[in-house]
Each structure stands twice: as structure tokens, then as C-alpha cells.
Structure 1
């Protein structure tokens, strides 16, 4: 069994795949963030757009096929639980592009829209 791209021990199907296929919604902001990282890793733009807040969602999204997302580290979080309506997740996403290793850090903001967690934007 290969672990999920998000870094949790479960298989992709048992972890983020269950959110990507539309069967379940991520119950916390962190799980949504992890599932969005996995969507970048597997190239699921439909899921990325579906889980983006309508106020900040782009019309379309094109991923760089040369960018391979390799590892995710959660650095911190606020709110984003079962009883919250907002939350943040700070993370470091590692990638490989053009034979070079790199990473990006972001503190993402999440909000509930129609009862579901969605990505709002990144804090500066």
C-alpha cells in the first residue's frame, strides 16, 4: 500500500481519494488542505476548483505538468475544527521541478460555505 500524497499513513483511496471522488466532504480545514495538496499531486483541477471559495475562485486552473509535489508538512493551524466556521493552516509543500527540489510555505485561510470547508486565500 502506498501512503496518500498528503503524508498521512492511509492509502490515497482511503484518505484524500474519498474526498476527491465527491463522496465525502473534508470535515476539518486541515483535512481539506491536505486533500487539496493531494489534488495538486494527482492533477485533480476539478477538485481544486470545487473546494475554492466562490469569492476568490479563478475561472480556470492550469497546473504545470513539470511540477511534482512530493511532500507536505503542517507547521501550524488555528480554528478549522468541526465546530468552527473559519480556520487557517500553515504548511510547507515540497516539490520537484526541472530536476530541482524546492518548497513553498503558505498560511492558508479556510471558511465554511454552504456547510463545507473551502479554501479562501493565503494570508500575507
Structure 2
């Protein structure tokens, strides 16, 4: 009887460990991208905030960072109004939106 009880406690502990190890929370400064077998026949499911259960072997996950980042693009040999060639250093700051269609597009392009 004691062996059955210990086996039962071990099984409950294993199930709890399994559940909590696959339950992923998404912080507010990231997008959680779940890929593999997702609902609706989509290639990936994107979440901003919240949490979800990731099925082992069937699904995997990655994070996309929402913090803006700069891109330097030097524009060389551009023509000004008087048709003189000038070099213009350009810096663009870009980031990913939390709009669902833009999040899924970013997940397909960046991951």
C-alpha cells in the first residue's frame, strides 16, 4: 500500500512538473511566437502578454523583442535640388507593432 501511495505521489509530481515546464508566460516587452501544429491551420500563433501551454514535440516557441532598434543606412551619391552629389547618413528607428496581422507577418519574416 505504501508503494502504491509513493508511486501515486511521484506521478502527481511528474505531471505538475511537466505542466509547469511547458507553460510559457509572455512578458509585456516581447511577443511569444508558437509554431508547429497550431489552431486554424496557421503557420504560427503570436501572443503579446498572457501565457499558453506548449505541447512537447508538436510545438516549439520563440520570442520577438518589441524594443525599437536603430538601422544605419548611409545614402551615398544622392542628388540634391541643384543636382550636386551628396552623402547623407540616415538612421531609422524601427520596431514591431502589437497589431495581430503585423505580429504574424513579423514572425514569418524574422524567425
Q: Which has the larger radius of gyration?
A: 2
TM-score of the superposed pair, with normalisation by structure 2:
0.26
**Richer in helix (by share):** 2
Q: What TM-score does the superposition give when structure 1 sets the normalisation length? A: 0.24
